[in-house]
Structure 1
C-alpha cells in the first residue's frame, strides 16, 4: 500500500487533534471537578445525576421554607410571652381590686390600670412582623385583625384559617395562629361559670367586665349591688385564668413546632450530605487521578507535535538519498 505525503499529514493531524481533545477534556475535568460535564461523557450517570439534582433542589426548597417557618413561630412566641406577662399583670390587679374595703377612688384607679392593660393586649393582638404583616390575622394579614366598634366592644375580624407552611415532603405546620385562637378561645379544661356554662372567651370582653364593674361606685350601695360587682370581679378572675391557660396552650404548640423544625433541619443536613456524596460518585472526578491524566495527556500531545514535526521534514527524496 502506497502512503502519500498528504495521507501521512492527515494521519498526523488526526493524532494531534485526538491528543489535544483528550488533553482539553482532562483539563476540563480538573477545572470543574467533574468527570461528567455533558451527557455524552456518560449518558447513564448524567441521567441519574438529573434525578439527584432534583432531590437536592427540593431539599433546599424545604430548608428555605423552614427558615421562614422558624422565624414566624419565633416571632409569635415572643409576642405571646408578652401577652402572658400582661395577663398575669391583670390578674394581680384583679386580686387587689377584689378587696372589699376599697374606696370608690381606689376601685376607679384599678379600673384605669386595667384599661392600660387592655390597651397593651390590643396592641399585641394587632402587632405586625418585620414585613408589616399582622401576626394574628391569618391569611388576611394586610389589615388589623381586631377592631373596636363605637360602643367600645373589640372583636376579631381577621382570617379564620391559620397560616400553614409545608416544611417537609410529608409535613405541614401552622406558622401563624389566628387572633381568634389566641385571644378569643377556651381550652377543653377551661373553668366554667358557677351555673355550669362556659365562661367568656374574648379576653377584651373579660377585661371590660371588670373595668365597668370597678367604675361603679359602691359607697352607700346595698348588699345586692355589692355582691353583683363582687361576682363580676370573680368572673373576670376566672376569665383571665382561662385566657392565660389558652395562651399557654398555644405557646406549647409553638414550642413543639420549633423543636420539630429543628429536628427536620438535622435530618435535612444528613440528606444533603448523602445527596452530595451520591452526586459526586456519579459525576465527580478523583482529583489525584485528574491531575495524573492531565499530565499524561499533555505529554502525549507534546509527543504528537514532536512526531509531526519530524515527519513533516521527510519526503520520498530524502528517504532515497
Structure 2
C-alpha cells in the first residue's frame, strides 16, 4: 500500500504531537512530585488512593469526635470531683451532728447552716452549663436546669433520663454526659426528689429544731434523720465516685484510641505516597527518554520537509 505525501506528513505531525504530550506529562509529574495526577495515569493506583483517602477521612472524623468527647468528659469529671469533695464534707458534718451529747442548740443550728450551704453547692454544680450554655447533667434536655427547687425549697430532678453518647471509633460508643439522676440519685426517677437532697432536708430540719429540755424520744428522732442522711450520702458518694471512675477510664481509652488513630494516619499517608508519589530516579529517566523521542521526531520531520516530494507543496 502506497502512502500519499499528505498522509506521511500528517503521520509525522501526529508522532510529534504524541511525543510532545508524553514528554510534557513526564515533566508535569516531576513538577508536582506525583506519579498519578489523574485516574488514567494508573487506574488501579488511583482507585486504591481513593479508598485510602476515604479511610483517612473517617479516621479524622473520629479524631474530631474524640476531641469533643474529651472536652465533655473532662468537664464532667472535674464537676464529679467537686461533688465528691462536697459529699465528703457533708459526711463529716453529719458525723459531727450525730455527736448529740456535746452539741448545744446553737451548735446544731450552725451545723444545719453548713449542711444547707453544702446542699446549695451540690445543686449549683448539678446545674452547671458547658461553654455553649447546655446543662451538663441534664441529658438530652440540656436547655433547662436539671435540678429545680419548688416554693418550699424541695429539689426535684427535671432533666433527661438518657445519657448522651458519642461514637468515637468505628465500633466504639462512649457516654460523654452522665445524667444528674444517675450521678446524685441512688433510686427514683425524673420528677422525684433525689435521695440526697431529700435526706439533707430532713437532717437540716432536725438540726434546726431546739432540743434543750426535750425528751429523749425527740433527740432519738432527730438522730435517726441525721443517720438516714448519712446513709444516703454514703450511697450518693458511691454513685458520684463510680461516675468519676467511669469517666477516667473512658478518657484513658480515648487517649489510646488517639494513639491508634495517629498510627492509622501515618500508615495512610505512607500508602498514599506509595500510590501517588514519584520514584524520582525512574521519573527523571522517563523524562529524558521522552525528550529524546521528541527530539528524534522533530529531526525526522525536518529531514522529510527537505525532501522533494514535500517541496512541491510549499
Structure 1 position 145, deviation (Å): 1.1
Structure 1 position 159, deviation (Å): 0.9
Which residue of 1 is the match for residue 123 of structure 2?
Answer: 122
Distance 1:214 1:36, change over 3 A: same
Distance 1:252 1:308, change over 3 A: same
- Aligned equivalents of 1:317, 1:31: Cα separation in 2: 39
Which residue of 1 is the match for residue 76 of structure 2?
Answer: 76
- Aligned equivalents of 2:310, 2:113: Cα separation in 1: 120
Deviates more, 1:113-122 or 1:18-27: 18-27
Specify every segment of 5 or more residues in structure 1 that has no aligned partner in the other structure, as ranges: 187-199
Which residue of 1 is the match for residue 11 of structure 2?
Answer: 11
Which residue of 2 is the match for residue 273 of structure 1?
Answer: 266
Structure 1 position 9, deviation (Å): 4.0
Structure 1 position 249, deviation (Å): 0.7
Distance 1:288 1:73, change over 3 A: farther
CA deviations on 1:110-138 (whole Å, 9 max, x unpaired) are 21122111111111101111111111111
Which residue of 1 is the match for residue 237 of structure 2?
Answer: 244
CA deviations on 1:84-113 (whole Å, 9 max, x unpaired) are 111112222222222322221221112112
Structure 1 position 299, deviation (Å): 5.0
Q: Which secondary structure does the structure 2 equivalent of 1:166 belong to?
A: strand
User: Is it true that 1:202 corresponds to 2:195 in the alignment?
Assistant: yes
Structure 1 position 228, deviation (Å): 1.0
Which residue of 1 is the match for residue 148 of structure 2?
Answer: 147
User: Is it true that 1:45 corresponds to 2:45 in the alignment?
Assistant: yes
Tell me if the contact between 2:5 and 2:310 (Cα under 8 Å) persists in the aligned partners.
no
Structure 1 position 18, deviation (Å): 1.7
- Aligned equivalents of 1:126, 1:235: Cα separation in 2: 25
Tell me if the contact between 2:199 and 2:225 (Cα under 8 Å) persists in the aligned partners.
no
Distance 1:306 1:106, change over 3 A: farther
- Aligned equivalents of 1:233, 1:263: Cα separation in 2: 45
CA deviations on 1:159-190 (whole Å, 9 max, x unpaired) are 1110011111111111110110101126xxxx
Tell me if the contact between 2:63 and 2:261 (Cα under 8 Å) persists in the aligned partners.
yes
- Aligned equivalents of 2:282, 2:135: Cα separation in 1: 58
- TM-score, normalised to structure 2's length? 0.87
Tell me if the contact between 1:138 and 1:158 (Cα under 8 Å) persists in the aligned partners.
yes
Match among 222, 228, 240 for residue 235 of structure 1? 228
Q: Which secondary structure does the structure 2 equivalent of 1:285 belong to?
A: coil
After TM superposition, the structure 1 = structure 2 runs for residues 56-205 of structure 1, keeping only pairs within 5 Å, are 56-100=56-100, 101-185=102-186, 202-205=195-198
- Aligned equivalents of 2:126, 2:209: Cα separation in 1: 28
Distance 1:122 1:291, change over 3 A: farther
Distance 1:15 1:122, change over 3 A: same
Structure 1 position 15, deviation (Å): 2.8
Structure 1 position 7, deviation (Å): 4.3
- Aligned equivalents of 1:239, 1:268: Cα separation in 2: 43
Q: Which secondary structure does the structure 1 equivalent of 2:115 belong to?
A: helix
RMSD, matched Cα = 2.5
User: Is it true that 1:253 corresponds to 2:246 in the alignment?
Assistant: yes
- TM-score, normalised to structure 1's length? 0.85
Which residue of 1 is the match for residue 215 of structure 2?
Answer: 222
